[in-house]
A and B are shown apart, each in its own frame.
Chain A
Amino acid sequence: MASEQIFHDHESDLGHKAKWFTSRVLIYGILIVWAIICLFPIYWTITTSFKMAPDVMRGNMVPWLDYRPAWLGWRSLGLSPETIGAESTVREQFLQRFFNSTITALSASTLAVLLGSLAAYGLSRFSFKFGFMRNQDISFFFLSQLILPPVVLALPFLVLYRELDLLDTRIGLILLYTLTVLPIVIWIMRDQFAGIPTELEEAALVDGLSVWRAFATIILPIALPGMVAAFILSLVLTWNEYFFAALLTSTHANTLPVMVASQTGSQGISWWSMAALSFAAILPLIVIGVILERFIIKGMAAGAVK
């Protein structure tokens, strides 16, 4: 029983399907190409840290297939399996820098979120008058700090810190880093608090809470996601900061970026150890980026969409 197809797709409909298919291929093609552009440098750094000199020179890329991975780069940092138990001055140094970076980034971000949230909350709820400055002007004053290029502050701070004996100390860096991320925190938090209805606090105040108690018990929990976003964004910026650290620290308070930068010139370039060091420097942020991606996106989107 030969059945014949009665209804045929029209020519133009088939064309539509082909067009849809090509557009899919094109979209995924571009996405994959860009993903490779984004990820390849990281992949290159990881693999290079396991290469030996000839492998680097030959430009081998795929471990186990092209070359045999070795712990060369990590051994020079004292972090390979054989050296992890032994004494290692390089590792001591590396860990100290790592610790410096962690302390500075964490404290500066905490301080900035603390000061910034309070200020943003105050500005979004009460009207102030400091001299001729009203709320609008105070907000603008805070946000305008974003424009200030670090180089303008760098040299005066160099001299000031020398007088105050704060050169090469972590506290000096923390204060400066707090300053650089404060406008961003205020930017994000202002948006957060503006989105919370004031009725919430009014109810709390009627119930007899003071302004600060209402802020701490009612508003903070609601604004917490925004604060986390601001904190993480600050963490990223302060962890990566190089300019101030390079100018204001020398031996004790060096951060990781300074250590990475100072290695490039000396004793030729040992690719594997530089790769290991760079990778160790970026690893914490890669982890944060992968796990807390939605907070970062939320933070950056806060200012964009009103």
Chain B
Amino acid sequence: MSAQGDLLHVVTQDDISAQRARFGRLIVWGSFALLILVAGVQTLGTQGVIAPIADNWRPTLYAYVLWAICLCAGQVLVRGEQGKRVLFVLPATLFVVSMVVFPLLFGLVIAFSDWNLSSPDGRQFNGWDNVVQMWNDPFYWNALTNMVWYTLAILVEYTIAFGLALLLNSQIKARKFFRVAFLLPLMLSPVAVSWMIGKSMLEIRFGPISRFLREIGVDNVTFFGNPELARLTIMAMDAWTFIPFMMIMILAGLQAIPKEVQEAAKVDGASGWRGFWEVTFPLMLPVSITAILIRIIFKLKLADIIINVTSGGPGGATDSVTSFIFREYRDRSNVGYGTMLAMVYLVIIVIAMTVLMKLADRWMRPRY
């Protein structure tokens, strides 16, 4: 995007009267004062200094929303044309900041406390206890290692997705049918998938996949009995839903390659396998890297299937970090410890993704 100056140059005459500007400032600061006032009264109410005005924090929320609206309106009133431009970005920014930054700060406070939602004591600040507990929690480290395995499975998914995209891009009939059919798994909810495939089709006695395996001579298949096999099964189910995603991104990349390039390669005698490795694949590198990075981001959120099919078992072999924290909360309703685990996970993710993106950047730069 343009780093200097607007792409859209407009010179407009703004004659903002002093009165209008004053009114703009007044509503912004007035609503802000109201917000502070309401929040203050509510805080005093919870401390028991005065009688509480409501049994929840809704009034503060309403005051906050009012302030946000006044802030947006004030921009236009005070700054005229420039304010109208800010108005494009301001609502989204306010929304994200209030929905992410505040909860994250709040989460930091929770992370350093012992807070069992079902106990009457409420929040107890406990310093680094949660960190110590986390350090000694073999299940958390196990979940983190599992995430590495799950992430590595993306390479296999990528290979399959690339193959399918190549096939869809070749001269075939009924391309539309195949495209829709291949896309469908992505549309299905992971919860339904975990029932349809995980519970029903993999049922040991009469699930069609187990029967099929028995037909071809594999006996005693227990998909979720053995840790490695259970992890592989989860990977396969997750891959089933998300391969279409990578496939479509790669397909779009393939279609963007000009036909002339491949024709030129063919004329030069690079056909089939060599043509792919020396022409198509390098050209597809940027798209591939984008697809893989986005897929990694989605993979790191993996939880629904695990929660519903194995709930982490056997012995934590299939646990992802998210499903582990989910159970940590469900079983012990320990908000403090769970939040600490999540925060540590976030830090690890941010570091890992930054490193990956830096590496990808270096990779994507053409090397002539």
Contacts and interface: CB of A to CB of B under 8 A. Distances in A.
Interface in A99-130: 115-116, 118-119, 121-128, 130
A149 B346 contact: yes
Interface in A211-268: 211-212, 215, 236, 239-240, 242-243, 246-247, 256-258, 260-261, 264
A127 B4 contact: yes
B189 interface: yes
A151 B205 contact: no
Contacts of B307: 242-243, 246, 261
Nearest to A27: B167
Given A39-B181, A44-B200, A150 B252 contact: no
A135 interface: yes
B85 A260 contact: no
Interface of B is mostly: helix
B184 A38 contact: yes
B290 interface: yes
A182 B180 CA distance: 26
A70 interface: no
B93 interface: yes
B100 A159 contact: no
B195 A165 contact: no
B243 to A, nearest CB: 9
Interface string B327-356: 001000001001100110110011001000
Contact of B187 (A242, A285, A297): A285
Given A35-B178, A146-B297, A179 B107 contact: no
A176 B89 contact: no
Given A155-B107, A275-B200, A128 B86 contact: yes
B206 A156 contact: no
Interface in A143-182: 145-160, 162-165, 175-176, 178-179, 182
Contacts of B290: 303-304
B330 to A, nearest CB: 9
A134 B4 CA distance: 10
Contacts of A257: 189-192, 304
Nearest to A30: B167
Nearest to B42: A163
B202 to A, nearest CB: 11
Contacts of B22: none
Contacts, number: 321
B110 interface: yes
Contact of B110 (A155, A258, A300): A155
B193 A41 contact: yes
Contacts of A115: 91-92, 95
A164 B353 CA distance: 34
Contacts of B201: 41, 44
A66 interface: no
Contacts of A44: 196, 200-201, 208
Interface residues of B, number: 108
B56 to A, nearest CB: 4
B99 A176 contact: yes
A229 to B, nearest CB: 12
A278 interface: yes
Contact of A297 (B1, B179, B308): B179
Given A126-B7, A141-B96, A305-B253, A289 B349 contact: no
Contact of B245 (A58, A122, A256, A300): A300
Given A38-B184, A149-B345, A156 B339 contact: yes
B110 A156 contact: yes
Nearest to B100: A145
A31 interface: yes
Interface stretch (A7-15, A79-87, A89-97, A198-206): A198-206
Contacts of B84: 210-212
Interface residues of A, number: 109
Contacts of B322: 149-151, 243
Given A38-B182, A147-B353, A152-B346, A118 B91 contact: yes
Contact of B95 (A30, A159, A179): A179
Contacts of A286: 184, 187-188
Contacts of A34: 164, 182
Interface in B10-47: 10
Interface in B275-302: 286-287, 290-291, 294, 297, 300-301
A126 B6 contact: yes
A288 interface: yes
B92 A145 contact: no
A300 B248 contact: yes
Contacts of B96: 141-142, 145, 179, 182
B2 A288 contact: no
A59 B205 CA distance: 9
A31 B182 CA distance: 9
Contact of B249 (A57, A146, A175, A300): A300
A52 interface: no
Given A163-B56, A236-B187, A278-B192, A151 B93 contact: no
A242 B93 contact: no
Contacts of B148: none
Contact of A278 (B95, B195, B205): B195
B363 interface: no
Given A156-B107, A304-B250, 17 more contacts: A35-B182, A56-B206, A118-B89, A125-B88, A126-B7, A149-B321, A155-B110, A159-B335, A164-B57, A179-B95, A205-B10, A243-B303, A261-B191, A261-B308, A289-B183, A304-B252, A304-B291
6 contacts: A119-B93, A147-B349, A149-B345, A149-B349, A246-B307, A256-B189
10 nearest CB pairs, A to B: A122-B88, A301-B252, A240-B189, A119-B92, A165-B56, A156-B107, A304-B249, A257-B191, A122-B89, A289-B187
